[in-house]
């Protein structure tokens, strides 16, 4: 007869408080370079998603272009999820990192 598996004492089990605090930790939205969108499209979408200035959006777009990726935004998980969703509206490739 098989024994019911239970977590070992050494395993990490997160409490609800731990999960909430992890969601509030600094998260990042990473924008990846692509050869589909124009700089103007990316800049306008960055401004829409993050509320940043055109100049800041241009810096992010150029970094993604030349380095392959750039941090587009940082904040709570909920904020990053919203920003990533807006960037994906035009099929920009983004990832949320925590």
Confidence (pTM): 0.77
Give burial (CB, 10 Å; 0-12/13-18/19+) of 77: middle
Give per-residue pLDDT as tens, 47-85: 999 999 999 999 999 999 999 999 999 999 999 999 999
With a cut of 90, say whether residue 87 has pLDDT above it: yes
Residue whose tokens read 């990053």: 80
């Amino acid at each position: 007869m098989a024994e019911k598996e239970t977590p070992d004492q050494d395993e990490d089990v997160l409490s609800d408080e731990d999960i909430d605090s992890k969601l509030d930790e600094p998260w990042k939205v990473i924008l990846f370079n692509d050869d589909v969108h124009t700089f103007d499209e990316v800049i306008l979408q960055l401004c829409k998603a993050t509320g940043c200035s055109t100049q800041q959006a241009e810096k992010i777009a150029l970094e993604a272009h030349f380095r392959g990726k750039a941090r587009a935004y940082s904040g709570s998980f909920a904020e990053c999820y919203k920003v990533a969703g807006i960037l994906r509206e035009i099929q920009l490739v983004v990832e949320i990192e925590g």
